[in-house]
Structure 1
């Protein structure tokens, strides 16, 4: 008997924003599959936390920057859906996996750094979604992650923000092309969040925190659960008429 519960796949779900997305989705009654690149133990801890919330969960290894590995990943995913969830397909794809770089400027950015960002944040998102389309149920959804840095500028983020801008355009095309199947596609664009992203610089540096507060309308530092709840909302019937949109979740930075 096929499961009637919705299933969400969160890439990069072992820690930080992805972990909170997984938990927020579970709290809304979804089963959850998280992917991890190297941190299997952390991913299994997220699985345990989701199960504690009464939902089913699984963790699968995936390097979102290696497109050649995607066929093998989807073979494993199909087996996991059948064995763990008694399902043929899943409902929500959250393209969250990613990383930043710390460089002072465009002039200091290497081609290797640029290519690495493209592979994970744009090429990986494009082709993972392409291969996921046959496995997503009609009426499902896609949530891609962008950044507040596509609206405002911060020196050193030129490569990262430009690539995220590409993801924003791609998301509109996903929304258009998949609309006939009632699959929605939206962007969530976080502001500065205190996680271990970029080596935890915001979380660990009081001076940076004070600066961020000074340029944010709601004068505090963003936390992971500020983002997860918005992703979970977009993967619910409450957001059934929200499509092709960019939702910035930054507390009002640089307004």
Structure 2
């Protein structure tokens, strides 16, 4: 059983599809685009997997409790296979949902600062806090960070800071949850061809070439590139990996 926040499109959708393909029942969340979420579920089911879509507006007080209440309700039919002492059990939590703010120190508003930290840091913190009641021993927590956390990028200073905070959250969780056999890792993508980047990247050969040149591997990343790394960390093959930030930038900034 897996929970993937922001799983209706982009990297989150690729993660949801890959985990479902590996046999997990996937609960994917969406904020507003219900049609995209239902399309993602339909695609997973068409490929023989199992998934449910949960509406979850993150970045607000009480968001984690509401999310997990919806999780319990939607996957209740599978409860005999996924029972836990509190609510329905879960094996994998992927904190993927996030927002960006393209502003430097001078331009960033207090509202934008609060919003990006609420969605990118506070929400994962409390999703995990509430989820630990359900997460089984030997489970997995995977936080989707960013290569921006290790680079100086003043034009997205707040976004980068949230990902640095998320990586530190990963480190501390790995230490505290290790006795339960739970591994916690971050995956840090670089430039990925998703809908978020479509306005400047797609159908723009010059922009694509520039983005590709940043990576040592010489191309723009695809959502599946990140999803495959997440799948590895979620598997038993990664049982001895915890507290790490796994670079998924294709060697950007080397």
Q: Identify the TM-score tier after normalising by the shorter chain.
A: over 0.9
Which runs of structure 2 are paired with 1:127-142 in the superposition (5 Å)? 127-142=126-141
- The gaps in structure 2 that reach 5 residues or longer are 84-88
Query: Quick check: 1:21 aligned with 2:20?
Result: no
| Aligned mates of 1:130, 1:47 — CA distance in 2 | 26
**Matched-pair contact (CA < 8 Å) for 1:193–1:223:** yes
Report the TM-score when normalising by structure 1: 0.92
Backbone CA RMSD of aligned residues:
1.5
- Closer, same or farther in 2 for the Cα pair 1:119/1:8, shift >3 Å? same
The answer to whether the 8 A contact 1:9-1:90 is kept is yes
Query: Which residue among 43, 67, 70 is the counterpart of 1:49?
Result: 43
Taking a change above 3 Å as real, the CA distance of residues 39 and 84 of structure 1, as seen in their structure-2 partners, is farther
* Counterparts of 2:30 and 2:118, CA distance in 1: 16
Q: Does 1:194 align with 2:188?
A: no
Tell me if structure 1 keeps the 8 A contact 2:91–2:139. Answer: yes
Post-superposition offset of 1:11: 0.2
- Within the alignment, does 1:62 sit opposite 2:61 as a pair? no
Specify the alignment match of 1:248 in structure 2: 247
Q: Is the 8 A contact 1:192 1:202 kept in 2?
A: no
Cα distance, 1:47 vs. partner?
A: 1.0
Query: Is 2:96 the partner of 1:102?
Result: no
Q: Residues 52-84 of structure 1, C-alpha deviation per residue, up to 9 Å, x if partnerless? A: 232221011111212313323222212223224
1:67-78 equivalences in 2 (<5 Å):
67-78=61-72
Is 2:205 aligned against 1:206?
Answer: yes
SS, match of residue 157 in structure 1: helix
For residue 171 of structure 1, what is the aligned residue in structure 2?
170
In the superposition, the TM-score normalised over structure 2's length comes to 0.93
> Which whole-Å deviations, capped at 9, do the CAs of 1:171-192 have from their partners, x for residues lacking one?
1111111111111100000001
Is contact 1:67-1:127 (8 Å) kept? no
Q: List gaps (5 residues or longer) in structure 1.
A: 1-6
Alignment match, 1:91: 91
Displacement of 1:27: 1.8
Partner of residue 4, structure 1: none
